[in-house]
Amino acid sequence: MGAMPCSGDAASGLAVRDYASTPHAGWILLATIAASSLAFIDGSVVNVALPAIGRSFSASPSDLQWTINAYLLPLSALLLLGGAAGDHFGRRRVLQIGILLFAAASVGCALAPSIGWLLAARAIQGVGAALLLPNSLAVLGNAFSDAARSRAINAWASIGAIAGAVGPPLGGWLVDTIDWRAIFLLNLPVAAVAIAVSAYFVPESGEAEQPLDWIGALLATCALGALTWSLTLWSSYGLVTLPVALGAVTGAVLSAAFLLQEHYRGERAMMPLALFASKPFVGLTVMTLLLYAALGGLVVLLPYMLIGSGSYSPLQAGMALLPLPVGIGVGSQLMRRLIEKSKPRLLLSIGPIVTGLGFALLILANPQGSYWATVFPGMVIISLGMACAVAPLTTAVLSSVDARHTGTASGFNSAIARTGGLIATALAGAVLAAAGAALLTAFHVACAIFAVISVASGCVAFATLDHEASE
């Protein structure tokens, strides 16, 4: 998704073995936060630059969709493999490779002479993010003991949320005052800090013997790529053409091949199919996909609509997104006691429904009218609904599977959240292709759809999480 850490991110570090705290704990925390902030900032900062990128390259709506999805696709498909690679080759080593790859790709984005070059560089950024995100958490899990580990992961997630919140207004300011290319150069000093600190203070860990599921990773990436390409073409032109049908069929065949590969590898699979023997886990997967699809679509389309259909500058459009991460962060803190006392089933049912009401309010959004009257109320309600859902989702995912699968389950849930954003962006072509009043109408239709799927995600949680699994 990008605007903030997803539920599974903070959870995936919890399954790492308990180790005593190491020296230089503060430096280790700094290295991991700096590394993960690269992914969180970049996941949100590009959204406010889409109109400027479109003008710079005379890009089509599908090109703009791929500016987001070229990053989300490898991140979604390779997140689990990135964590396994750290366990196999060494977490610090893979973390540093991910940082260097991300930084090099950022330079490529900033210097892109064409939209094709930009998309290729964005894809490499996604690969780098898939390496650095899970391993930044695994490094924390290795370095801190139980109590300190919990505080460190909370700090990691909180600062990541702040980084995601700062991204859109900072990116908007850079687009207004310098150029859209400057948003990618933001990554370089952060990457330099992460590399330098990790080289001196982060101990190596991992280096297990279990072979990696390279075939599964390749099949997952190609399957997601084919399906995303097909959905992007269909949404951009509104027609089921031969390429659209071929992309959908290819994606379906590759998905089936991926499942066969995972079945063959059993417990050694990137995504063990035994996870899906749990009804609550299946329900949480569907709920996460739907809820984060709605949220991911919003953070792409709202700034685009405000700039394209109104008189908002990129900076103002970035500021318009601030209530979302701020509201989720503040709301989660205020509801901490309620979350501790309530069963996940209740909050995971109510939270998405409240989020759906917020999306319904955004049907009234009017960039020519008052932001505070037409946009802000919906954003606040969405943030409150998400605050109800994010924290208990982590708990529910971990309790829905047995202990040996908790790390994989939380990582998979994080990948599914980003896949939701990937699919939403692929379907956003009808909105991105519109202009003026038609753009506003298309945005309102999208918000109505987001409202429906948010409510549906709450209903899925209520139907699949039984009382025993929710305790």
Residues 240-255 pLDDT 10s? 889 899 999 999 999 9
**pLDDT score of 362:** 97
Q: Pick from 110, 103, 106: which is nearest to 180 by CA?
A: 110
pLDDT for 289 beyond 90: yes
pTM flag (> 0.85): yes
Supply the mean pLDDT for the chain.
86
User: Does residue 259 share a domain with residue 373?
Assistant: no
Band the pLDDT of 5: cuts 50, 70, 90: low
pLDDT for 340 beyond 80: no
**pLDDT score of 400:** 85
pLDDT for 13 beyond 60: no
pLDDT in tens, 255-282: 999 999 999 988 888 888 988 989 999 9
Domain housing 259: 214-269
Q: Is residue 1 part of a domain?
A: no
pLDDT for 471 beyond 90: no
User: Does residue 309 share a domain with residue 208?
Assistant: yes
Q: Distance between CA atoms of 67 and 156, rounded to whole angstroms?
A: 27
- The pair of structure tokens assigned to 347 is 């909050």
Q: Is residue 412 part of a domain?
A: yes
Band the pLDDT of 446: cuts 50, 70, 90: very high
User: Does residue 303 share a domain with residue 355?
Assistant: yes
User: Does residue 252 share a domain with residue 149?
Assistant: no
Q: Distance between CA atoms of 364 and 378, rounded to whole angstroms?
A: 9
Q: Is residue 181 part of a domain?
A: yes
Q: Is 408 within 8 Å of 272 (Cβ atoms)?
A: yes
Q: Is residue 433 part of a domain?
A: yes
Domain count, the chain: 2
User: Does residue 111 share a domain with residue 134?
Assistant: yes
User: Does residue 303 share a domain with residue 247?
Assistant: no
| CB neighbourhood size of 443 (10 A) | 25
- Lowest-confidence pick of 41-50, 95-104, 331-340: 331-340
Q: Distance between CA atoms of 405 and 261, rounded to whole angstroms?
A: 18
Q: Which residues of 317-326 are buried (b: 16+ CB within 10 A; e: fewer)?
A: bbbbbebbbb
pLDDT in tens, 156-179: 776 776 777 778 888 899 999 999
User: Does residue 119 share a domain with residue 187?
Assistant: yes
What CATH number did the domain enclosing 105 receive? 1.20.1250.20
End residue of a domain, out of 230, 253, 269: 269
Q: Is 138 within 8 Å of 86 (Cβ atoms)?
A: yes
User: Does residue 122 share a domain with residue 85?
Assistant: yes
Query: What is the amino acid identity at position 159?
Result: I
Q: Is residue 2 part of a domain?
A: no
CB proximity list for 109: less than 8 A, separation 6 or greater: 118, 121, 122, 125, 181, 184
* Token pair 């992007």: residue: 232
End residue of a domain, out of 244, 269, 294: 269
pLDDT in tens, 32-87: 999 988 988 887 789 899 999 999 999 988 899 999 999 999 988 888 888 888 88
Q: Is residue 290 part of a domain?
A: yes
Q: Is 221 within 8 Å of 254 (Cβ atoms)?
A: no
Would you mind telling me the total number of residues written for the chain in this entry?
471
